[in-house]
Structure 1
Amino acid sequence: MARPRAIDRATILDAAEQVVLRDGAARLTLDAVAVVAGISKASVIYDYKTKQALIQAVVERWIAGWGERLDKATEPYIDGDDARLRGRIDVARDYKEEEDGAVVFQLCSAMTQDEQLRQTMNEGFRQELGKMLSSTKNPDKALLALLAIEGMSILQMFGVVEWQPEQREKILSGIEQLITQD
């Protein structure tokens, strides 16, 4: 009988995110991840043969987590119009710098140098856009609203603007008005 796996992949990915936050994606090393995870480098290599494979796994996990977060935020609106977009607005209201900003910022820098990462992020966004547009009666308004939300979020993520909670709420309320007006 095979010995049960002692090292959870989530532990390695958590450690990789910590290294990305601390050092940046460009400086992530398998050695650094092993140290943070408290395991051997060989254990990291066993699951993720290369740095790029490890970053790819972090991106894929982040996309999946983001989708789950949106699914949960969408639940209260599931029987109404613009359910996914309303869920996205609620997620934007609950902005968490560490979850929504810092790691993504670092992963975006890695994405500029890796076509496969760009494809993964692009596919994740296309799938989410498809879900959002399929749950609306007015795709043009929904797209405009999504672009406004993403623009607001990206400006904060890249440190261009630090939205205060009341500013964020005013913007998101305006976006809600946009999608509810005929």
Structure 2
Amino acid sequence: MENSARSERTRNAAIQAALTIIARDGPGRLTLDAIAREGGLSKGALMHQFRTKEAVLKALLEYQNDYLEKFSEHYLATTGVGKSEPQLSAQIETMREATTNPITVASAFLGVVAEDPALFAKVREIDAQKVELLKAEAADPDLATLRWAAARGLAVTAMLGFCPLSEEVRTRLFDRLLDSERWPAPAKAGKTVSDRKRAKG
């Protein structure tokens, strides 16, 4: 049990050290030696957890994805209950959450992009599944996808540090994207504005 706890501490220390190095020095400076120095770890202890830099990068992605997935699941089980589009709301709120600690998330993503973009294949697969879920629950799948994509754009530009919008504006836009009542589905095909006016008359 003690060995297991020590192993977990070493793993977490290595992940935090890797995030710090990428954020401070850039992904090109990420090496196993640098991680060991930054984390105050022996090279042997680090190599016991991560044999290669690619293994560290995979762990960084898993670390971020696990956190955001747990956040999404908690949202669906609490705030999302009773929402007309819970899957969409959970995805938008999760992307907002990612911007609350943008350096950490961006560091993980930048490290992977710089070294091995192929590692994102699993992330793309998971995202595709979630988009299908939010489209399935939506009255207008295209509109739901558009809201998801807008939230993703806000999150990514904020995380990478080149969003021209202030935090206040981003917060307001995330609130707008979350508010399904402000995104009514279009009338069914064949029902024009004139048709609806006549029906009311």
TM-score (norm 2): 0.74
Q: Aligned residue for 1:161?
A: 163
Query: Per-residue deviation at 1:55?
Result: 0.7
Question: Is the 8 Å Cα contact of residues 26 and 110 (structure 1) preserved in structure 2?
Answer: no
Q: Aligned residue for 1:124?
A: 126
Change in Cα spacing, 1:17 to 1:130, as seen in structure 2 (3 Å) is farther
Change in Cα spacing, 1:128 to 1:63, as seen in structure 2 (3 Å) is farther
Cα distance in 2 for residues equivalent to 1:172 and 1:132: 17
Q: Which amino acid in structure 2 is aligned with residue 4 of structure 1?
A: N
Instruction: Give the structure with higher Rg (CA).
Output: 2
Once structures 1 and 2 are overlaid, which stretch shifts more, 13-22 or 159-168?
159-168
Q: Aligned residue for 1:76?
A: 79
Question: Is the 8 Å Cα contact of residues 27 and 114 (structure 2) preserved in structure 1?
Answer: no
Change in Cα spacing, 1:28 to 1:179, as seen in structure 2 (3 Å) is farther
Query: Per-residue deviation at 1:120?
Result: 2.8
Q: Aligned residue for 2:90?
A: 87
Q: State the 4+ residue runs in structure 1 displaced beyond 6 angstroms.
A: none
Q: Aligned residue for 1:7?
A: 7
Question: Is the 8 Å Cα contact of residues 24 and 106 (structure 1) preserved in structure 2?
Answer: no
Question: Is the 8 Å Cα contact of residues 63 and 124 (structure 1) preserved in structure 2?
Answer: no
Q: Aligned residue for 1:59?
A: 61
Change in Cα spacing, 1:40 to 1:71, as seen in structure 2 (3 Å) is same
Once structures 1 and 2 are overlaid, which stretch shifts more, 100-109 or 31-40?
100-109
Question: Structure 2 regions of 5+ residues with no counterpart?
Answer: 186-201
Secondary structure at the counterpart of residue 77 of structure 1: coil
Encode CA deviations 1:139-171: one digit per residue, 9 max, x unaligned: 222101001111122222233224323312332
Q: Aligned residue for 1:19?
A: 21
Cα distance in 1 for residues equivalent to 2:147 and 2:181: 7
Change in Cα spacing, 1:128 to 1:37, as seen in structure 2 (3 Å) is farther
Change in Cα spacing, 1:144 to 1:3, as seen in structure 2 (3 Å) is closer
Change in Cα spacing, 1:93 to 1:143, as seen in structure 2 (3 Å) is same
Once structures 1 and 2 are overlaid, which stretch shifts more, 9-18 or 171-180?
171-180
Change in Cα spacing, 1:34 to 1:112, as seen in structure 2 (3 Å) is closer
Q: Does 1:181 align with 2:200?
A: no
Question: Is the 8 Å Cα contact of residues 112 and 118 (structure 1) preserved in structure 2?
Answer: no
Once structures 1 and 2 are overlaid, which stretch shifts more, 168-177 or 51-60?
168-177
Q: Aligned residue for 1:49?
A: 51
